[in-house]
Structure 1
């Protein structure tokens, strides 16, 4: 049986929500092995002077719990 761990990552982008979600997954992939799936939990943005200046995507990243190294 495999146990799966889920963590939340907040990705940001000045281009789009999709780019923010991609950034979250790419950065998580730098330190997490064997990502099995992601779920975008929330889309938010920073607004300055009536315009979106930063897109934010909260992403849940799922990966298997590794066996303890002895």
Structure 2
């Protein structure tokens, strides 16, 4: 195992927190390689007309630096 680095990423989805976390990893993997794990640091949501409108996650993504 080499050196690991952690970045913090914010992502959202109108489908749910799981989809928001998947969006975070998918977007980060476009520019970050060797992703090893993701830690859901925080979850939140916005509400519109009495219903959840947008799910948001703050995640920490760990990847290996080569």
Normalised TM-score (structure 1): 0.85
The structure that is strand-richer by fraction is 2
Deviations 1:2-59 (CA, angstroms, capped at 9, x unpaired) = 2211011111101111000000000001100100111111110011122110001111
| Structure 1 ranges of 4+ moved more than 2 A | none
Separation in 2, partners of 1:50, 1:3: 46
Bigger radius of gyration among the two:
1
Q: Which runs of 5+ in 1 are unaligned?
A: none
Q: Which runs of 5+ in 2 are unaligned?
A: none
User: How well do the aligned residues superpose, as a CA RMSD in angstroms?
Assistant: 1.2
